[in-house]
Structure 1
Amino acid sequence: MAGLTIDGSELGNNQYLTVQLLMVHSEKLFNYLYRGQCEQDSQIGRRGKQQTSIPTLITERKANHHPNRGVNLSNLKQLPNLYTPPPICLNACLWNVQSAANKTTQIADYIQEHDIDVFIMTETWLHDYDAVIIGELTPPGYTYLNVPRPSGTRGGGIGVVFKTPLKLRQIPQEIHTTYFEHVYITDFTKRLTLVVIYRPPPSRDNGFRTSDFLTEFDSFVDDISVSPRKLLLVGDFNIHWDEQNKWDVKKYASIISSVNFQQHVDKPTHRSGHILDHVLSCPDDELIRKIRDDLHAGVCDPANDVPCDNCPQFAQFHPLTEDEVLHVISKSSNASCLLDPEPTWLLKDHIQYHLPALTAIVNASLTSGVFPKAAHSAVVSPLIKKPSLDKDNLQNYRPVSNLSHLAKVIEKCASAQLVEHFNTNELTDPLQ
């Protein structure tokens, strides 16, 4: 039994969907996520001692042991199931990132701040040799599953960042597609198959046509719908689901309904107001529990896109307690900068000695409105875009800026108060 909750927010031109996936898999998965340990081996006793098995005697039963005795099946009584694994709620996020290389810090921070279990990305534009970028966007305790564009050309690509104890893995498939990219993913219980899809929009460069995609997608869903596992399809389909009268949407809807799939997203996922990102599942599988209906938070003047006169003003930042600063630091990654006096992991290990001073610095910066001068600097390192490029050509490098850990902490503390003010007073854009 499973369910998911979807909400959205926009970064750049594309909205990302946050998904709450409720799964009942097994007691072992429950132990992984909530008890912090795997189910112990059944051969080991409670005190860690090896249990000895009870000796048994096996003999061969003779045929027709009681030839004249009948069998009364009505005497059989079904025993009730005494244990039902508790439901496990997995927070997932779907986002068309359009290059993850320049959003590594943003992705890692979002995953940690929102405790995301599975972070799904389309259009990562990453390859197998982008180990540095993948390391930057993968927080501690998470694993990155990289699926580059099969052709190896620029663009496309699918990536999944997940909590390591979930043990997600890619399922090899013999189904090859031309007009869209896809990947099959499952957990160790093998009860649910997650299919992530990215369909590039038709253009003169790729020569793709919508009719070709629909024909290939029709055959694709026919093949995967016979799977004994529960299926969940998510991704960027570049089909305007909100325009139900268009021929391609009608054909697409007919295809998914023919295999008893339902499209659950009914709110815009693009700043133009269209629904491009879809979540598909079979209603009988009960994978979808709820879709949040608060995507369209009100703004003061949506017609003119300007705030009105009676909008609540943000007067000043309020000081933080040591516990609030500790929460921000503990949620941050262990990435360090050459400007840091000590590694971030060492700071966290001895945070009790540094917390009072750090809290005082953060509050002094917030109340005075002045960013510490020492935090203005950053270490900028050149990173080659591709290993195959000419290393003597400076145009083949991109700058990577690394701020000090103190600067990041102050920024996150200020950002948290601003976001809280915007959300409380409904000042954000409807698609943000």
Structure 2
Amino acid sequence: MDTTMLDSAYYVTMNESVQLEQTNSMPSLLYTRSELLALKPSNNLCTLPTHVFQNLKDLGLLHLRSRRAGSHIRHRKIKSTIPNVRNGLQPSMSQPSQDNESSYLNVAHWNVHSACNKSLIICDYIIFQNIDIMFLTETWLDFNDQVIINEITPPGFMCINIPRPGDKHGGIAVIFRDELHLIHVPCDNSETSTFEHALISDTTHHLHLAVIYRPPPSARNKLKTSTFLSDFDRFIEYIDELPGKLICLGDFNIHFDCPHKLDTSHVHTTLTAYGFKQLVTGPTHKLGHTLDGIIVKSDNDELVSDCTVDMNDISDHGVVNCKLHFIKPQPVLMASKFRDFRKIDHNAFARELTERLHDVTCEGDVDTAVVEFNSAVNCALDIYAPLLTSKPKPKRAKPRWYNNDVDDARRGRRQAERKWRKSRLPSDRTNYEQSKRKLAEVLVKAKSVFYRESLIGSSPNEVFRIVNNLTGKPRLTPSIQDSPTVLAHAFSKFFTDRIKNIRAHMDDVQLDSTSSADLHTCPPSAQFAHFMPITKDYLHKVIKNSATKSCQLDIVPTWVFKKHTATFLPKLTEIVNTSLTSGVFPELFKKAVITPSLKKTIS
């Protein structure tokens, strides 16, 4: 092998990855740093991966001595003479293994000092920093700020908002991916008066995440440090008894970087007594102190790693990030079946439907007639609108209103930030501040333009849906931790109690004795003995005046049914008249799909 040529190729590819384009229909050369470092000097022979060997051979950089026919294939091993120019890096004699840390949960805490004026920035940070669980403190949100809550929650995420009772300042919010199934657990016997706290657990209760926000003592709130230390001791004692893994994080407003201070010393003593330790080092506040922390059990050091602080200057606190060594659950991607009615040949479908409905008989049992009717329609649909299976798609990671301007503004902000952090020049700091303001303006403009264009020319239903998504409260659903049996009994009990209450109120009403007697002695003025058969014109009028709404139990969408009313009408009129004359309602029409929507939470 020509080592001079290989040396030249190596020095060209000393970045993270390298790609050499060959113009004369030759393959491209793409190596990782680990593969190239495998060729550094060694007394042992190094084995080239198969794809590396083939690329070197195709590019003419590797020359093999010819061998006699029938001889054994020699191992692809070469003696490396490339000098080691990357100090401190060890060679990898095999293909690099996949980094398992990418599957860990990214957890972050951020004292945002009011989410009202940073809602889109918070959402943008969660998306592009790939955060799985974001804890926000000092949100300044209450239960009526649903618009802001919708803006800080990216697609595919959920938000738990815990406002400060009686005061809009403060507040805690937890934003997490849908697949994590986290719930807010009330903290029994852990009432505190000097700081806010919340306990978030997964549905299996194998993991508990406690978040704390302590307002700094002031003349306005009249909080005392001594009271806080007592409350903190009781809270640590409470969470220490929780089963499973535990992490406590938040804004403690304690100078963890000053261990000589009395309050910091007391907190460290309490943590050590219960077997906890604080992991965050370095400043988390713009004044240079470590006020935010991550607390874990000393015997669970492997639970959290890579604790970093991102001082992004958006708030007075930086974002505290860490990796939680829990495998990130994969989103459930389910394929759905559908019929593409938009591509249906309606003329051919009508002819096929007429032929098949001709064989449907309505004599005798109405249930049999309905089954045959549905079967005939399904057979025609299978020909002209067959069932298709959609490909599973991951959930949308960005809001729909993100555009190229947002991406350009984000890229410009990141470049300005890197330049300033490297140079620390005042001019670069000014450019960085301008790029942040520009990104915030671009985010607001992109969202406004998108929804303005969406509302123009939209139908009333579409306008209502868009406005409801922006300002309406999310639909409340039953807790995911309950089993279907428990939910069914809960709904049954709810409605049974409602009926009992109504009957109890009715029993209290005193009816007039005279009017009550008249109700029993007055003979009926008319009798209803049988139904009158309907005509095709009457049924056609009913179908035409009905709303164009569909249910998942419908055999065809309502708009398709109305388009082919003339084809369905003769046989459908016979089925309806058979049901009326026999007094039997078809069993298939007794089914319904009920989607419960809670009007308010049940305590």
- Structure 1 pair 410–290 and aligned structure 2 pair: CA distance change class (3 A): closer
User: 1: CA distance between counterparts of 2:310 and 2:116?
Assistant: 28
1:165 aligns with 2:179: yes
1:414: which partner in 2?
Answer: 412
Q: Could you say which residue in structure 1 is the equivalent of 2:167?
A: 153
241 and 219 in structure 1: CA distance in 2 versus 1, 3 angstrom threshold: same
C-alpha separation in 2, matches of 1:250 and 1:197 = 19
Partner of 1:227: 242
Matched to 2:229, the amino acid is L
Q: Distance between the aligned counterparts of 2:302 and 2:228, measured in 1?
A: 26
Matched AA of 1:167: H
User: What does 1:23-422 correspond to in 2, within 5 Å?
Assistant: 88-149=103-164, 151-174=165-188, 175-291=190-306, 332-335=398-401, 405=403, 407-422=405-420
Structure number with larger C-alpha Rg: 2
Q: Is the Cα–Cα contact under 8 Å of residues 271 and 277 in structure 2 kept in the other structure?
A: yes
| Structure 2: 5+ residue stretches without partners | 1-99, 312-395, 434-603
Q: Which has the higher contact order (CA 8 A, sep 6+)?
A: 1
Q: In the aligned structure 2, how far is the partner of 1:204 from the partner of 1:294?
A: 30
Matched residues, number: 244
What is the deviation of 1:411?
1.6
- CA change 1:117–1:292 in 2 (3 A) is closer
Question: Using the alignment, how far apart are the partners of 1:272 and 1:424 within structure 2?
Answer: 20
Contact in 2 for aligned 1:267/1:295 (Cα 8 Å): no
* Cα distance in 1 for residues equivalent to 2:127 and 2:309: 23
SS at match of 1:102: coil
Check conservation: 2:205, 2:243, Cα contact below 8 A: no
Separation in structure 1 between the aligned mates of residue 208 and residue 308 of structure 2, nearest angstrom: 26
CA displacement at 1:111 relative to structure 2: 0.8
AA at the equivalent of 1:271: K
Point out the more displaced range, 284-293 or 172-181. 284-293
Contact residue 109 and residue 333 of structure 1 kept, 8 A: no
Q: What do residues 370-400 of structure 1 show as CA deviations (whole Å, max 9, x unaligned)?
A: xxxxxxxxxxxxxxxxxxxxxxxxxxxxxxx
Q: Deviations over 1:56-110 (max 9, x none)?
A: xxxxxxxxxxxxxxxxxxxxxxxxxxxxxx8840011111001001001111111
Q: Cα deviations across residues 88-135 of structure 1 (Å, max 9, x unaligned)?
A: 400111110010010011111111111110111110010111000011
- Matches of 1:288 and 1:137 in 2, distance apart? 28
2:194 and 2:227 in contact (8 A); partners too = yes
Q: 1:164 & 1:271 partners in 2: Cα distance?
A: 33
The SS at the match of 1:286 is helix
> 1:293/1:89 Cα in 2 relative to 1: closer, same or farther (>3 Å)?
closer
| CA shift for structure 1 position 288 | 4.4
TM-score by length of 1: 0.52
- Structure 1's 130 and 280: CA in aligned 2 closer, same or farther, altered over 3 A? same
C-alpha change, 1:220 and 1:156, in structure 2 (3 Å) is same
What's the CA shift for 1:410? 3.2
Deviation at 1:422, TM superposition (A): 4.7
Equivalence for 2:18: none
Task: Answer yes or no: is the 8 Å Cα contact 2:123–2:154 preserved in 1.
Answer: yes
The separation in 1 between residues aligned to 2:406 and 2:141, in whole angstroms, is: 25
Matches of 1:413 and 1:261 in 2, distance apart?
Answer: 40
* Counterpart AA for 2:269: S
Q: Secondary structure at the match of 1:115?
A: coil
Letter matched to residue 215 of structure 2:
P
1:109–1:295 distance in 2 versus 1, CA, 3 Å: closer
CA distance in 1, matches of 2:160, 2:108: 15
Structure 1 contact 181–199 (Cα < 8 Å) conserved:
yes
Q: Please state how far the C-alpha of 1:426 moved relative to its aligned partner.
A: 7.7
User: For 1:192-224, what per-residue CA distance to the aligned partner results, in whole angstroms no more than 9, with x for missing partners?
Assistant: 100000111111111110000001111121122
Instruction: Report the secondary structure of 2:204's partner residue.
Output: coil
Q: Secondary structure at the match of 2:400?
A: coil
Question: Do 2:213 and 2:251's aligned partners in 1 also have CA atoms closer than 8 Å?
Answer: yes
Say if 1:99 and 1:124, in contact at 8 Å, map to a contact too. Answer: yes
Point out the more displaced range, 231-240 or 215-224.
215-224
| CA contact 2:278–2:293 (8 Å) conserved in 1 | yes
Decide whether aligned partners of structure 1 residues 242 and 219 sit closer, same or farther in structure 2, where only a CA change above 3 A counts.
Answer: same
User: What amino acid maps onto 1:161 in structure 2?
Assistant: I
Contact 2:208-2:244 within 8 A present in 1 as well: yes
**Gap regions ≥5 residues in structure 1:** 1-85, 297-329, 336-343, 345-404
SS in 2 for 1:139: coil
Tell me the CA shift for residue 181 of structure 1: 0.5
SS at 1:94's partner residue?
A: strand
Aligned mates of 2:204, 2:308 — CA distance in 1: 32
